[in-house]
């Protein structure tokens, strides 16, 4: 049988469930998902390998109107994903209105290939609201296949996976068949730490924080990791550390447990908090941080 391979790229507004869907399709907790908007900041590939196929899924940042340079980088990542998709997944959530989704719809219309529009979070909706929502989205994007979905609870996930694999173009694999992502271990560890920052801090802290893993050393029976939590101001540093270091200790413990689960090894995690003023606005700094 000929081999199939292709890019299936997921776009949508912040918080609609793009990362949750990527994980559900992969069957792995690869990328971080969180109730706070703007969780994902990069395009991240998740690769689903089978004997005769390779589906390269892309998670992307939520589409927004950029307010600083980091946002502009995030939107470039989205636009890149629209260019190289074989199949484009446009993810919306039930309750969202097509009239208010022009940012997403205009990008979707620009893409000329096969499109699937998934209406996510139907588990959280009244039964009677689902059909009218599907119709409204179908009218807004007539060329798309419109499907109701619950990425979190697995509704239509297997069906979607089968549908997508069947429609991949004939192509040799793009990546070695044992690879799960284009990103390395350090990246995923920094994301797990950032996810705990999102979970533990309020207001502007999650949006001002960057995490850098400086070292990852495998010793017998344990992995030693040193990482920096980088914020924009001294006052934010104080909040991240907390009184008597309490908040930072809690962050460290939660992150260590998550990393240990991810790599299935015992972990020693050393977290330091640093200030890098206005890193979100600085081209050179953004580049250094991988944007």
Ligand X SMILES: Nc1nc2c(ncn2[C@@H]2O[C@H](COP(=O)(O)OP(=O)(O)OP(=O)(O)O)[C@@H](O)[C@H]2O)c(=O)[nH]1
Footprint of ligand X (CB under 6 A)? 12, 14-20, 33-35, 37-40, 61-62, 120-121, 123-124, 150-153
Q: Are strands 145-148 and 114-120 parallel, antiparallel or unpaired?
A: parallel
Nearest distance, CB of residue 218 and Mg ion, angstroms: 29
Q: Which does 123 bind (CB under 5 to 8 A by kind): Mg ion, ligand X, none?
A: ligand X
Between 5 and 193, whose beta carbon lies closer to ligand X? 193
Distance CA 20, CA 39 (A): 11
Nearest distance, CB of residue 88 and ligand X, angstroms: 15
Position of tokens 């599907």? 134
3-class SS of residue 224: strand
**Which of these ranges, 16-24, 149-157, 208-216, 271-279, lies near Mg ion under the rule CB under 5 A?**
16-24
Distance CA 7, CA 9 (A): 6
Nearest distance, CB of residue 34 and Mg ion, angstroms: 8
Residue 216 has a CB neighbour count (10 Å cut-off) of 17
Residues that bind Mg ion (rule: CB under 5 A) add up to a total of: 4
Nearest distance, CB of residue 53 and Mg ion, angstroms: 25
Find the Cα–Cα–Cα–Cα dihedral 217, 222, 226, 227, rounded to 10°: 110
Q: Which does 17 bind (CB under 5 to 8 A by kind): Mg ion, ligand X, none?
A: ligand X
Tell me which of 39, 58, 120, 150 binds Mg ion, using CB under 5 A: 39
Nearest distance, CB of residue 64 and ligand X, angstroms: 8
Tell me which of 6, 7, 19, 291 binds Mg ion, using CB under 5 A: 19
Between 23 and 223, whose beta carbon lies closer to ligand X? 23
Nearest distance, CB of residue 183 and ligand X, angstroms: 15
Nearest to 210 by CA among 287, 291, 289: 289
Q: Are 259 and 225 contacting, i.e. CB atoms less than 8 angstroms apart?
A: yes
CA 128 distance to own-chain centroid: 30
Strand order in the sheet with 222-231: 210-219, 222-231, 267-275
Between 18 and 256, whose beta carbon lies closer to ligand X? 18
- Integer distance in angstroms from the first to the last C-alpha of the chain? 39
Q: Which does 241 bind (CB under 5 to 8 A by kind): Mg ion, ligand X, none?
A: none
Distance CA 277, CA 290 (A): 17
Q: Which does 35 bind (CB under 5 to 8 A by kind): ligand X, Mg ion, none?
A: ligand X
Position of tokens 């959530």? 93
Q: Which does 117 bind (CB under 5 to 8 A by kind): Mg ion, ligand X, none?
A: none
Nearest to 87 by CA among 62, 121, 43, 118: 118
Tell me which of 40, 120, 156, 208 binds Mg ion, using CB under 5 A: 40
Between 73 and 121, whose beta carbon lies closer to ligand X? 121
CA 8 distance to own-chain centroid: 14
Can you give the binding site for Mg ion, defined by CB under 5 A? Answer: 18-19, 39-40
């Amino acid at each position: 049988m000929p081999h199939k391979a292709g890019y299936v790229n997921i776009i949508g507004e912040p918080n609609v469930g793009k990362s949750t869907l990527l994980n559900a399709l992969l069957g792995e907790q690869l990328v971080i998902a969180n109730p706070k908007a703007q969780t994902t900041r990069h395009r991240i590939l998740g690769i689903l390998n089978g004997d005769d196929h390779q589906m390269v899924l892309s998670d992307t940042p939520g589409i927004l109107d950029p307010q600083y340079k980091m946002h502009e980088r995030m939107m470039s990542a989205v636009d890149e994903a629209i260019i190289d998709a074989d199949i484009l997944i446009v993810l919306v959530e039930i309750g969202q209105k097509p009239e208010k989704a022009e940012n997403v719809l205009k990008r979707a219309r620009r893409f000329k290939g096969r499109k699937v529009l998934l209406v996510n979070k139907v588990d959280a909706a009244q039964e009677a609201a689902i059909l009218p929502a599907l119709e409204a989205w179908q009218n807004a994007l007539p060329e798309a296949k419109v499907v109701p979905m619950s990425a979190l609870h697995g509704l239509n996930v297997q069906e979607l996976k089968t549908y997508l694999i069947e429609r991949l173009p004939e192509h040799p694999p793009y990546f070695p068949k044992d690879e799960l992502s284009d990103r390395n271990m350090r990246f995923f560890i920094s994301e797990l730490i950032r996810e705990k920052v999102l979970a533990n801090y309020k207001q502007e802290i999650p949006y001002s924080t960057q995490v850098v893993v400086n070292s990852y050393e495998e010793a017998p029976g344990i992995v030693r990791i040193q990482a920096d939590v980088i914020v924009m101001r001294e006052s934010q540093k104080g909040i991240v550390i907390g009184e008597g270091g309490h908040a930072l200790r809690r962050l460290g413990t939660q992150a260590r447990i998550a990393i240990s689960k991810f790599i299935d090894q015992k972990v020693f995690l050393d977290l330091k908090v640093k200030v890098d003023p206005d890193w979100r606005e600085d081209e050179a700094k953004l580049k250094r941080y991988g944007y």
